[in-house]
Amino acid sequence: MPFPLSSTLGFFPLSALPRLLGIVCLAAWLCPVARASNPLGLTPGTAATVTLGQITTLANFNTSTAAADISYTNSDLATRSYVVRLPTGYNASDPAKTYGLVTYIDAGDAHTFPASYAAALDARNVIWIGGIGIGNAQFTDLRRGVAIMGAYRLSQLYPIDPARIYVSGLSGGSRTANDLAYLRSDYFRGFIGRVGSSLPAIIPGWQTAGSNSNVNNFDADYEYMSVNSADPSVVLPAYFRTVLMTQYGDFRRSEQLAVYRYGHLNHGNQVRLVMRPGGHSDEVGPSFTDALDFLYHPLVDLVWDRFQNSDLSTNPPSGGDTVAGTGFTSLSGTVSETTYSYNSTTHGVLRLNGDGAAVRANDTFTWKDPSGILLDARLRAETATGLNQQIGLHILPANAPETTPATQTGFHLYWVYGQPDRAELVTVDGTRKTLATWEHTATHPMNLATTVTSPQSGEGVVTEKTFWHNNNSAPAFAGRTQAFRGEDVRLVLNSVGFQLTFNRPAVNLTTAYTGKVVTATTDAVTTNPNETFPIVLQGFWSEVETAAINALPAGSYKLLLTNDAITPGQPVGNALVDELHLIASSSPTALQNWRALNFGTTSSTGTAADLADPDGDGLPNLLEYALASNPNAPASANAPTASLLPAPGSTLVLSFLRARSGLTYTVEASSTLAPDSWTVIATNPGTVSPTVPVTVTDSVAPAPSRFLRLRVTAP
């Protein structure tokens, strides 16, 4: 029977489009372009120097955007040499298969393919192209043009996915590539900056301007992207990913860190910092693997809560804010979502009142993707009473006990008054490892009373919680829309290791394992009120005496926040959380979250299977979930109850909790219990509530007997 092409065609979902393509081409962008399988005759896995040939027509390629800064030279392609490498697994007989592409701008005219990048390119099916003769001595518009025109020409010759075209470079070539990424973020989907980057905005030089030293200084203007075209927006499109690669011995390291912290993070861009031992131009294969993994990471907003609605258990958008997640659950003590005022501004906050208060995010995440998670947290103390406060952030297995989080397997961060802050790991055998400790200046940045002199002209003395508050009247700060509050901490946790980035300077940075956990600088770390660049603590699982699989086993995890006294019985301040933003690789459904919290897995298998009954109370797991019961405690069974109302007109009543949205609750009736005698009398009656039951009634007469049953189905 032929597929019906009718007026209903426009209602087919995108998932149906592949079936339609075999019949009709719906639009030009859906039609495959006929290509030779390997027109340049390249050997997969081997870098070769080739010319690409001129483009027949540029009608389908925008050469007007940023034309003053990009030399779109088609004629150059007839003679320009490029180094091109196809991934080892390139299938020349299957031109329908698509590949990613990295176009590279080197610092020198002679481009040599970075051999240590081969494994990552092969794993991700990415083609490499680097122009020859576009080193630092050449005009920047030519360098940009050769890179983008080479990418476009190669995409005409090979099956390259337009959603996976990236730009990269080395040192000055990396800065030029970064310029190109901003100028043509419509064409590129990501940038990998190898020891060099730029911004379409000046980062204020709080130290000696013009210095290239990585000791408490950075060049204030070095990273500024000066172009002839109108300056691009500092905020990149949501799909765009940026990775900044640097090494501890890189003399441009501080610029990379400044661009990362005060550029991309400040503007809300999707960014990852990758840092390892080495010098300015070292080729580090693992760093490139991390970078490419981030470009491909799904980056799902799993939890993004600014605590604006005074309801702990929900997280609706407020004032246009982007939000994600289903709220938090109080575990102990007094926890509330409330408001707090400082610097004449009122903000929503999550408050953990006093000693022993604890809260859990309702959404779990999976520890499987090699790119891991990113967690941005803004925490502070409401008071420094007695210097007796310890705020904890815990990442634990989803079904781990919540009464004593500090003793559970997982990753733990502590912000402490009067003692060093610390990052800890508790391994599966219960061994506690202190990964790093750090201590702030005498005036702790979490203290709301702290004031500083703003580097922004005309702002004067401000509370440090608004240190980066936007003031568009100051050009150097224009567009900086995020007012950082509390102590900003970014945690990157993946299969390689961990990385912490801090907003404020620290002193007395120590390591638990000499030479293993390192800071952002190999120089002595000193306290400076002007904060030249962020402090970064970083460690690799292989270097902290445990492999990643032992540090945090594969499985489901949850996020907890705690507020505790250091010395029991002494006054304790409250913990305030301004914002939490957790990015993972996938977002579990509500049912998967419930399985993870109760069984440690999101899969419907074994004791976690929907029809399993691990506690033996007669309710299978799906009913336990639907009725808000504990599947591991038979005494908690919230089984439906039935009662008979007396005459006149005897009525059978069924009561149950319709505790979950997303499920279908069906009440059926029968007079004989025969398999085909059941009829539906109610579907999703009442309203969803985990505490207030709904009732369904059915008349018994005229049948001598009557039966009711509840059927629950999941999507």
Is 326 within 8 Å of 304 (Cβ atoms)? no
pLDDT at position 32 is 38
- 588: its two tokens: 């579990």
- Please compute the mean of the pLDDT values over residues 7-36 and round it to a whole number: 30
Calculate the CA dihedral of residues 679, 681, 686, 688 and round it to 10 degrees: 10
- Please compute the mean of the pLDDT values over residues 188-215 and round it to a whole number: 67
pLDDT at position 448 is 47
pLDDT at position 223 is 67
The yes-or-no verdict on residue 115 having pLDDT over 50 is yes
Is 113 within 8 Å of 47 (Cβ atoms)? yes
pLDDT at position 578 is 83
Fold of the CATH domain 35-296: Rossmann fold (3.40.50)
Give bridge partners of residue 50 from the DSSP assignment.
Answer: 82
Confidence band (pLDDT; 50, 70, 90) for 358? very high
- Of all residues in the chain, the percent with pLDDT exceeding 70 is 77
Any residues with CB less than 8 A from the CB of 569 and at least 6 apart, and which? none
pLDDT at position 417 is 72
pLDDT at position 322 is 84
Distance CA(624)–CA(622), nearest Å, equals: 5
641-713 CATH? 2.60.40
Between 252-256, 409-413, 507-511, the lowest mean confidence (pLDDT) is in 507-511
Q: What is the pLDDT of residues 533-565, one digit of tens each?
A: 556 777 777 766 656 667 788 889 999 999 999
Closest to 657 in 3D by CA, of 632, 686, 699: 686
Same fold, 35-296 and 300-446+486-591: no
The yes-or-no verdict on residue 226 having pLDDT over 80 is no
- 258: its two tokens: 């400044």
The yes-or-no verdict on residue 521 having pLDDT over 60 is no
Distance CA(142)–CA(73), nearest Å, equals: 8
The residue among 369 and 322 whose pLDDT is bigger is 322
The yes-or-no verdict on residue 610 having pLDDT over 50 is yes
Distance CA(649)–CA(712), nearest Å, equals: 29
The yes-or-no verdict on residue 588 having pLDDT over 80 is yes
The yes-or-no verdict on residue 572 having pLDDT over 90 is no
The residue among 567 and 520 whose pLDDT is bigger is 567
Count of alpha carbons within 13 angstroms of residue 141, beta-carbon side: 13
pLDDT at position 386 is 60
Distance CA(447)–CA(685), nearest Å, equals: 51
- Please compute the mean of the pLDDT values over residues 67-82 and round it to a whole number: 94
pLDDT at position 645 is 83
pLDDT at position 99 is 95
Q: What is the pLDDT of residues 440-485, one digit of tens each?
A: 554 444 454 445 444 444 444 544 333 333 333 333 333 333 333 4
The residue among 397 and 308 whose pLDDT is bigger is 397
Counting runs of H as helices and runs of E as strands, what totals does the chain give?
Answer: 10, 31
pLDDT at position 506 is 39
300-446+486-591 CATH? 2.60.120.200
- Please compute the mean of the pLDDT values over residues 382-394 and round it to a whole number: 78
pLDDT at position 362 is 95
- Please compute the mean of the pLDDT values over residues 35-45 and round it to a whole number: 85
The yes-or-no verdict on residue 398 having pLDDT over 90 is yes
Q: For residue 713, which amino acid is it?
A: T
- Please compute the mean of the pLDDT values over residues 242-268 and round it to a whole number: 82
Phi-psi region of 468 (alpha: psi -120 to 50; beta: other; left: phi over 0): alpha
**CA-based end-to-end distance of the chain:** 30
pLDDT at position 544 is 66
Q: Domain locations in the chain?
A: 1-31, 35-296, 300-446+486-591, 604-636, 641-713
pLDDT at position 616 is 94
Location of structure tokens 């009913």: 623
The yes-or-no verdict on residue 603 having pLDDT over 70 is yes
The yes-or-no verdict on residue 211 having pLDDT over 50 is no
Is 281 within 8 Å of 249 (Cβ atoms)? no
Is 362 within 8 Å of 580 (Cβ atoms)? no
Q: What is the pLDDT of residues 165-174, one digit of tens each?
A: 999 999 999 9
The residue among 105 and 578 whose pLDDT is bigger is 105
Q: Across the chain, what does the average pLDDT equal?
A: 79
Is 288 within 8 Å of 192 (Cβ atoms)? yes
The yes-or-no verdict on residue 258 having pLDDT over 60 is yes
- CB-count exposure of residue 300 (10 Å: 0-12, 13-18, 19+): middle
pLDDT at position 266 is 72
The yes-or-no verdict on residue 621 having pLDDT over 50 is yes
Three-state helix/strand/coil letters over 360-422: EECCCEEECCCCCEEEEEEEEECCCHHHCEEEEEEEEECCCCCCCHHHCCEEEEEEECCCCEE
The residue among 567 and 591 whose pLDDT is bigger is 591
C-alpha distances (whole Å) from 657 to each of 487, 612, 638, 686, 715 are 42, 20, 8, 10, 19
Q: 0.75 cut: is pTM over it?
A: yes
Q: For residue 125, which amino acid is it?
A: N
The residue among 646 and 62 whose pLDDT is bigger is 62
Distance CA(89)–CA(377), nearest Å, equals: 41
Length of the chain: 715
Confidence band (pLDDT; 50, 70, 90) for 228? confident
